[in-house]
Amino acid sequence: MNSDWTQCAITPAVSHEGYASLGVAVYRASTIPFENAHAYATRRERGSEGYSYGLYGTPTTRTLERKITVLEQGARTLLAPSGQGAITTVMLALLKTGDQLMLPDTVYPPVRDFADRDLARLGIQVSYYDPLDTADLVERMGDRVRLVWVESPGSTTMEVQDLPRIATLAHARGALVGCDNTWATPLNFKPLAHGADIVVEGLTKYFCGHSDVMMGSITVRDLALGDSLRAFLGRQGLGVSADDAALVLRGVETMALRLAYNARVATTLIDDIRRQPEVARVLYPALPDSPGHALWRRDFQGASGVFSVVFTPQAAPHVAAAMDALRIFVIGASWGGTRSLVAPMPVRAHRTVRPWEGDDMVLRISIGIEGEADLAHDLKTFFEALRREMVRHGTA
């Protein structure tokens, strides 16, 4: 008989026969025990789906990966600690000194910062292209282009790109195509079905849906590419928590309902916002005057609840002060959670190819799951405060 000390340390085997749960179990592990010495010595022969160490996956993280793979219509999914981490992983794993990376001018600002600082330091040529002009892309692509990145719609200003055309042009040069699909999610757009080789999602946002998890995903349509990226993640020591994966799995179950509500309420609120005299323009792919609208109608199945508001030159300087009148909307970064958010976003400093002609401050709005009437009233309060500020400063 083992001592009490040993009995405390050893977990007894319990039968799972006859037990089932609709929720996914949380398997936490760093060490994976092996039946014998031979099994340990040959652990690398288990393949990419085998278990050898917690960093490379648990049943909880693998369940999330598989669910995303099905939604993306891909071959394999890998998880990263954040959406930004997923993007930088792809770029670092695929690019080497002398290679060229093509980025849309509307790319997520932290990706631009990473490319300009870190990829440039590694001797990787970073070139920006007009997201709405495939001829500009062709003109800027060199002989060593390795990866063409797409973000559709574009960060803050919502330009929709012609992914099928871009993929054809990139593949003709022997380059891979990656797409940041965080705005649409695979429920509204499937980049792999439109020519992309890699699709990245910021799971932090709509997938999680509750603003309490940081995570990203990388889905590929080629298993060999997936194995290469998995090995790179392992060498970098990058993994995700099983607890966080379980929270994202829970969020995915309601994502379709939340997205449908977000889009419906966004459409209604946008109709009212556009009528306000202080508003110059609303940027939302579902609107006919939004850049790339025809492409959105052709390729997308729907919209999300994120849009941007451009104010008149007279109103723009007073938006920040008026935001303090909001009571339902929360001032904060990110989107896709249960709470509605507003975030003032500077644009001009993050454009080098396609000049931004509107006011430099664009207000990004994300619709949550609060009552539609409450959100409408909060926006009414905001615009009333904005008008008061304009009168006070003599710009009304």
Nearest to 205 by CA among 49, 345, 336: 336
Torsion of CA 68, 72, 76, 80, to 10 degrees: -50
| Average confidence (pLDDT) over 185-204 | 98
**Is pLDDT at 48 greater than 80 in this prediction?**
no
Helices (H) and strands (E) in the chain, counts: 14, 12
Top-confidence residue, 12 or 72: 72
Burial of 28: CB neighbours in 10 Å, binned 0-12, 13-18, 19+: exposed
For residues 90 and 229, the answer to whether their CB atoms sit within 8 Å is yes
**Residue with the two structure tokens 């749960």:** 21
pTM score, two decimals?
0.95
**CA–CA gap between residue 294 and residue 316 (Å, rounded):** 29
Nearest to 136 by CA among 355, 354, 356: 354
Q: Where are the domains of the chain?
A: 24-249, 254-393
Q: What is the DSSP string of 196-234?
A: -SEEEE-TTTTTT-SS----EEEEES-HHHHHHHHHHHH
CATH architecture of 254-393: Alpha-Beta Complex (3.90)
Pairing of strands 176-180, 198-201: parallel
Residue 1: pLDDT over 80: no
Token pair, residue 273, equals 């916002």
What one-character DSSP code corresponds to residue 31?
B
- Rounded-to-integer distance, Cα 72 and Cα 35, Å: 36
What mean pLDDT, rounded, does the chain reach?
96
Q: What mean pLDDT comes out for the span 230-248?
A: 96
Q: What is the pLDDT averaged over residues 124-131?
A: 98
C-alpha angle 275-290-153 in degrees, rounded to nearest 5: 130
Rounded CA gap, 75 and 68, in Å?
10
H or E element, residue 255: helix 242-273
- Which pLDDT band holds residue 60 (cuts at 50, 70, 90)? very high
Q: In Å, how far are 2, 14, 105, 293, 354 from 10, measured between CA atoms?
A: 10, 12, 56, 60, 63
pLDDT digits (tens, 9 = 90+) for 317-331: 999 999 999 999 999
**CB 354, CB 105: distance < 8 Å:** yes
Q: What angle, 0 to 180 degrees and rounded to 10, lies between the N-to-C axes of helices 242-273 and 59-72?
A: 40
pLDDT level of residue 113 (50, 70, 90 thresholds): very high
Taking only the tens place, the pLDDT of each residue in 275-292 is: 999 999 999 999 999 999
Neighbours of 377 (CB within 10 A): 13
Average pLDDT over residues 36-49: 85
Per the structure block, which two tokens stand in for 291? 């850049």
Rounded to whole angstroms, the Cα distance separating 341 from 358 reads 22
* Highest CATH level, class, for 24-249: alpha beta
Instruction: Categorize the per-residue pLDDT at 19 as very low, low, confident or very high, splitting at 50, 70 and 90.
Output: confident
Q: Which two tokens stand for residue 222?
A: 């080629």
Residue 344: which H helix or E strand, with range?
Answer: strand 341-346
> Quick check: 191 and 176 in contact, CB under 8 A?
no
